[in-house]
Amino acid sequence: MDTIIRYLGHAGFIVIHRHTTILVDPWFFPAFLKSWFPYPDNRFLLDAVYGLKADYLYVSHLHQDHFDRRLLERLDKSIKILAPNYRSRSLARKFRGLGFENLIPLDHKQSIEVAPGLTATMYLDTSHKEDSGLLLETDGFRFLDLNDCNTRISELPTDIDVLAAQYSGAMWYPNCYDYPPDVMLQKVEAVRRDLMDTLVRKARITKARYYIPSAGPACFLDPVLMHYNDRDRTIFPIWENVSDEFAVACPEVEALRLQPGDRLLFDKPEQEPVHELSADRRVSEDLDDYSRRRKDDWGEFYREAERPIAPEELEAYFARLQRRNKHFLADFSKDVRLVAGSNAWRVQLGQLAEHFVIEGEEPYDPEYSFFMSPRVLRQIIDGREGWEEALLSMRVVLKREPDIFDSRFMGLLRYGNEPVQTLQMLRETYNTETIERDGLRMQRFCPHAGEDLTYAIVCDGVIECPRHHWKWNLWTGECIDGGTLPLRVEVIDPNLLRQSRHD
């Protein structure tokens, strides 16, 4: 075997098998409008990564805590890149834009022998989301790095020796929303439960022997964002907050708690790995001190002078977004309020509002409101950052009325720059393949992001998707929790039908 896994922090690894080295998701510099930082600080490993003569680089997806542009600019451009072959080709485009030429595009479940006796297999999230995991396999040893990727549960590989996967949140919901504290706490608890449930499923289905907690949480070092480091009241727990829960749910899986710089040495199959602690090991951080050390980094967000946004700029931005996504916007309309500093605009989206109006502040009831500084909105309008990045930065506060996730609206904002992704969202909604189970005939793939509902939980008149835990009424298909998209479902078991009449 002779395999070494060195942890770089967050979702980063260096995997060495004999004479072959693979660098995975190295992240060191702040992400998402200078708001996210690796936790604990891993900067002491930066020189080692710059000096590494890696044969391959694998970056799982374009989120900036994985695709670290500032770091990638400094890497040797001749490195071979194991590149997830996404529909939008945006990852490949970005790599080429940085000067990398040696891309090896890999489709879902496509394998490549990267060195004698070492195979890499790509696992994509085949939904409209573009994310991936990588299976590295040597003689008798299988390391599956799922980072924060949600490959369909039915397609995950099994007999995994070491699984690396996310346990902590990496989303703006619910902490960016304007909920009262008691509601916020309930929502945070629900998301944390879902995160653990997803992890437990992954560990069980892959039959992992060992689990490496990874891919989060990040920390926030800009003083205005520091409250998001609260490990009890946010969806960003550290492993010690949730490890007992995991141990109860998966007693057969041993969690290997690594810190940046630590190494795992695998010698022979069935043998316990040797865990070498890094001499520079940081188990936790004094966040005030860390924030002072990185003041120049997060301070960059404030360096550029604020420039006012003209209504014409907003109008042009949303008109372009709508034009690019016409296929996605039939019968769609949405009333949105944007507030940036002391300015507020009403944006009416949808084909019915082709000549939509942007006005000054006046009373009306928008379904979604966005509050942010003009700096954030400026970066979006100028195309330097997308809504996905702005929302992940936690520099936007959201309010929605009613309190229901609108996947089409959020899809337009998050993926509208890559219309191939919004097109895929439509395909997922209208996919016609069905399955029969529990006396029901229902669509096989979740209308939200295509999870295989063969693995759905069906209980007490409710169908629950195992991925993001949307719930539907079993009798009507109405979405009762999570989003707005209905599920096509029909009760076919005569006993169930009789029971419903009886009820």
We find the least distance from the C-beta atom of residue 220 to ligand FES, in angstroms, to be 26
Pick the closer one to ligand FES by CB: 194 or 222.
194
Binding window for ligand FES (CB under 6 A); candidates: 44-52, 73-81, 102-110, 461-469: 461-469
470 binds ligand FES (CB under 6 A): yes
We find the least distance from the C-beta atom of residue 152 to ligand FES, in angstroms, to be 9
The span from the first CA to the last CA of the chain, in angstroms, equals 61
Asked if residues 64 and 32 have their Cβ atoms less than 8 Å apart, the reply is yes
465 binds ligand FES (CB under 6 A): yes
Asked if residues 24 and 13 have their Cβ atoms less than 8 Å apart, the reply is yes
We find the least distance from the C-beta atom of residue 377 to ligand FES, in angstroms, to be 28
Q: How many other C-beta atoms are found inside a 10 Å radius of the C-beta of residue 346?
A: 17
| Residue 177 per-residue DSSP state | B
We find the least distance from the C-beta atom of residue 41 to ligand FES, in angstroms, to be 33
Pick the closer one to ligand FES by CB: 418 or 451.
451
Sketch the per residue contact string, 409 through 448, with ligand FES: x for CB under 6 A, - otherwise: -------------------------------------x-x
Q: How many residues bind ligand FES (CB under 6 A)?
A: 9
Q: Give me the residues paired with residue 333 across strands.
A: 350
468 binds ligand FES (CB under 6 A): yes
Pick the closer one to ligand FES by CB: 380 or 465.
465
Tokens standing for 15? Answer: 């995997």
We find the least distance from the C-beta atom of residue 133 to ligand FES, in angstroms, to be 16
467 binds ligand FES (CB under 6 A): yes
**Rule CB under 6 A: which of 334-393 touch ligand FES?**
none
| Burial class of residue 360 in the structure, from the number of CB atoms within 10 Å of its CB (0-12 exposed, 13-18 middle, 19+ buried) | exposed
Of the residues 222, 418, 451, 452, which one makes contact with ligand FES according to CB under 6 A: 451
| Residue 71 per-residue DSSP state | H
What is the torsional sign of CA 304, 309, 310, 312? Answer: positive
Binding window for ligand FES (CB under 6 A); candidates: 93-101, 164-172, 206-214, 460-468: 460-468
We find the least distance from the C-beta atom of residue 298 to ligand FES, in angstroms, to be 32
We find the least distance from the C-beta atom of residue 55 to ligand FES, in angstroms, to be 35
We find the least distance from the C-beta atom of residue 382 to ligand FES, in angstroms, to be 31
Pick the closer one to ligand FES by CB: 209 or 468.
468
Binding window for ligand FES (CB under 6 A); candidates: 131-139, 162-170, 286-294, 466-474: 466-474
Tell me which residue of 257, 443, 248, 426 sits closest to 329, measured CA to CA. Answer: 426
Pick the closer one to ligand FES by CB: 49 or 412.
412
- CB-based burial, 203-226: b 16+ in 10 Å, e otherwise: bebbbbbbbbbbbbbbbbbbeebe
Strand 219-220 versus strand 36-37 pairing type: antiparallel
Binding window for ligand FES (CB under 6 A); candidates: 107-115, 189-197, 463-471, 490-498: 463-471
Tokens 């896994």 belong to 5
Kind plus residue range of the DSSP H or E element containing 249: helix 239-249
Tell me which residue of 22, 105, 104 sits closest to 56, measured CA to CA. Answer: 22
449 binds ligand FES (CB under 6 A): yes
Binding window for ligand FES (CB under 6 A); candidates: 113-121, 168-176, 312-320, 462-470: 462-470
We find the least distance from the C-beta atom of residue 448 to ligand FES, in angstroms, to be 4
Tell me which residue of 67, 5, 72, 9 sits closest to 41, measured CA to CA. Answer: 9
Pick the closer one to ligand FES by CB: 43 or 187.
187
We find the least distance from the C-beta atom of residue 191 to ligand FES, in angstroms, to be 13
The gap from C-alpha 322 to its chain's centroid, in whole angstroms, comes to: 24
Q: Give me the residues paired with residue 339 across strands.
A: 344, 371
Pick the closer one to ligand FES by CB: 128 or 395.
128
We find the least distance from the C-beta atom of residue 446 to ligand FES, in angstroms, to be 3
Pick the closer one to ligand FES by CB: 25 or 451.
451
**Rule CB under 6 A: which of 478-497 touch ligand FES?**
482
Tokens 């944006």 belong to 347
Task: Give the dihedral of Cα atoms 181, 187, 192, 196; nearest 10 deg.
Answer: 160
Long-range contacts of 465-473 (CB under 8 A, 24+ apart): 466/153, 466/197, 466/198, 466/201, 467/150, 467/153, 467/198, 468/194, 469/194, 469/197, 470/446
Asked if residues 5 and 15 have their Cβ atoms less than 8 Å apart, the reply is yes
What is the torsional sign of CA 245, 250, 251, 257? Answer: negative
- Rounded CA separation 350/469 (Å): 28
Pick the closer one to ligand FES by CB: 164 or 449.
449
Pick the closer one to ligand FES by CB: 6 or 448.
448
Pick the closer one to ligand FES by CB: 103 or 423.
423
Pick the closer one to ligand FES by CB: 61 or 467.
467
Which stretches of the chain bind ligand FES, using CB under 6 A? Answer: 446, 448-449, 451, 465, 467-468, 470, 482
